């Protein structure tokens, strides 16, 4: 018998009053920790903003682990056992299909090790909504056929020649399928000649780089000027050493230097979903629907936390002096631009979204640290630090791509001579599960 207190019961009844939230608990109980996008897929919800609302309603029953995956809390496991007693479990369990979904990425790299790991877990994979997908040459046909369920809504797919026919059977809405043969791409696009498809494949392979560069100048404004209306224009007062949290469901937020003001627009005819709270030194802005511009005196910030479930955030933090900057992205895009900054602890967790960081440090505390974690998404970081600061770079890759350029050029694990004895230290930890990370650390 499961024992719960009256307070826990009240939280349970409120949280589980909707079928979607019950399915979330059952899926996590059956499958263990999951990333945001895969959890949404298994539960059967197509709208990310709607799903983010339900996850917030499960606060206290679910939590994130150190890798940014969602899991059941201690109370959540109690709820799971209650639901298992109430249900036979078969109908709900059937909804938790054994699928691992790779999606919403610029580039996806499929390796033999990745497919073997999924097969060991009894899972099949769906690859979708990507620009470029590459399958390694050493993936055999039996493994590919067993694990890959389908590939859909992909611009360019590159497979080894021995998998070409099998890949064609699993593809849907794939613009370009190509194979490597004697150093040439053999175009398989219907209606295109070989030279045309070869040229297109070359262009598509460079799209990822182009998109990353474009994100550097990200200008949020997803609502057309003639289609939006201002729904909020409010002054806010920020105290010194303030803690600020911005959270996006499926809207967008721009944070930039200013005197203290929040302006929100929403598409005409739609109901905005905005929560703005201020209490003491704490300011919180949640934007599920709409476009919010938050103008704050950046020099007063102490900690800045950004959560993106599905949407866009742009942080312009010139002159910031922060103890901690934390970025957590399930799926979406975040751009961080800052010059003349000093951040003691910069931590990012990107599940399936995109992050671009362009930061120039004017000074470094005794030991500054940057932690960049990538699930199946993409991160591009350019960090400039003062000449006298010593650098240590520690990359770790499970399945994915990590390109590191340190002060001495292209490198892997790097410890600058004199780092351990230095008074000013700058440490970068880069962890890639199966996504893409490009990191450049230079001295100015």
Question: Per DSSP, what are the bridge partners of residue 396?
Answer: 431
Give the C-alpha separation, 41 to 98, whole Å.
Answer: 11
Classify 221-443 by CATH class.
Answer: mainly beta
Q: What pLDDT sits at residue 44? A: 78
List the domain boundaries for the chain: 6-97, 100-213, 221-443
Q: What pLDDT sits at residue 203? A: 35
Sign for the pseudo-dihedral over CA of 25, 27, 33, 34: negative
Give the C-alpha separation, 325 to 369, whole Å.
Answer: 11
Low-confidence ranges of the chain (pLDDT < 50): 1-2, 89-97, 181-226
Record the tokens describing residue 295, joined without a space: 């103008």
Give the C-alpha separation, 241 to 247, whole Å.
Answer: 20
pLDDT digits (tens, 9 = 90+) for 114-169: 898 888 877 888 888 777 788 999 999 999 988 998 888 777 788 998 898 888 88
Q: Which helix (H) or strand (E) holds 216?
A: helix 207-216
* Residue 319: count of CB within 10 angstroms of its CB: 15
Give the C-alpha separation, 107 to 129, whole Å.
Answer: 10
Residue written as token pair 């000027």: 225
* Residue 432: count of CB within 10 angstroms of its CB: 23
CA atoms within 13 A on the CB side of 104: 23
> ∠ CA 438-440-442 to the nearest 5 degrees?
180
Q: What pLDDT sits at residue 197? A: 37
* Residue 178: count of CB within 10 angstroms of its CB: 23
Q: What pLDDT sits at residue 317? A: 94
SS3 letters across 282-318:
EEEEEEEECEEEEEECHHHEEEEEEEEEEEEEEEECC
CA atoms within 13 A on the CB side of 292: 30
Could you give the 3-state DSSP secondary structure of residue 199?
helix
Give the C-alpha separation, 23 to 97, whole Å.
Answer: 12
Instruction: Give the fold, CATH level 3, of 6-97.
Output: Arc Repressor Mutant, subunit A (1.10.10)
């Amino acid at each position: 018998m499961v024992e719960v207190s009256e307070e826990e019961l009240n939280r349970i009844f409120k949280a589980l009053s909707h079928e979607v939230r019950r399915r979330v608990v059952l899926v996590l109980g059956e499958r263990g920790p999951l990333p945001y996008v895969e959890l949404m897929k298994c539960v059967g919800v197509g709208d990310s903003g709607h799903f983010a609302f339900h996850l917030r309603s499960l606060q206290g029953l679910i939590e994130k682990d150190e890798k940014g995956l969602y899991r059941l809390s201690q109370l959540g496991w109690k709820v799971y056992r209650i639901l298992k007693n109430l249900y036979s479990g078969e109908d709900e369990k059937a909804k938790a299909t054994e699928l691992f979904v790779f999606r919403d990425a610029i580039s996806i790299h499929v390796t033999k090790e990745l497919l073997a790991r999924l097969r060991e877990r009894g899972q099949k994979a769906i690859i979708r909504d990507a620009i470029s997908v590459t399958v390694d040459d050493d993936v055999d046909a039996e493994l590919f056929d067993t694990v890959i369920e389908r590939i859909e809504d992909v611009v360019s797919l590159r497979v080894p020649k021995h998998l070409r026919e099998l890949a064609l059977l699993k593809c849907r809405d794939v613009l370009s399928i190509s194979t490597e043969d004697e150093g040439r791409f053999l175009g398989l696009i219907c209606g295109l000649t070989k030279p045309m498809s070869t040229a297109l494949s070359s262009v598509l392979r460079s799209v990822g780089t182009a998109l990353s560069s474009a994100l550097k100048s990200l200008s949020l404004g997803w609502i057309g000027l003639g289609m939006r209306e201002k729904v909020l224009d409010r002054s806010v007062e920020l105290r010194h050493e303030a803690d600020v949290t911005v959270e996006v469901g499926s809207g967008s937020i721009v944070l930039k230097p200013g005197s203290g003001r929040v302006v929100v627009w929403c598409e005409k005819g739609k109901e905005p979903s905005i929560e703005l709270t201020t209490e003491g030194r704490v300011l919180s802005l949640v934007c599920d629907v709409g476009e919010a511009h938050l103008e704050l005196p950046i020099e007063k910030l102490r900690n800045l936390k950004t959560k993106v479930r599905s949407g866009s955030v742009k942080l312009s933090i010139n002159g910031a002096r922060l103890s901690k900057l934390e970025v957590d992205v399930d799926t979406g895009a975040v751009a961080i631009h800052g010059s003349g900054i000093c951040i003691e602890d910069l931590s990012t967790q990107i599940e399936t979204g995109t992050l671009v960081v362009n930061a120039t440090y004017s000074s470094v505390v005794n030991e500054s640290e940057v932690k960049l974690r990538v699930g199946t998404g993409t991160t591009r970081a350019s960090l400039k630090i003062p000449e006298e600061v010593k650098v240590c770079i520690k990359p770790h890759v499970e399945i994915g791509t990590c390109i590191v350029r340190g002060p001495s050029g292209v490198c892997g694990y790097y410890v600058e001579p004199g780092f351990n004895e230095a008074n000013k230290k700058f440490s970068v930890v880069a962890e890639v599960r199966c996504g893409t990370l490009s990191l450049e650390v230079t001295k100015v």
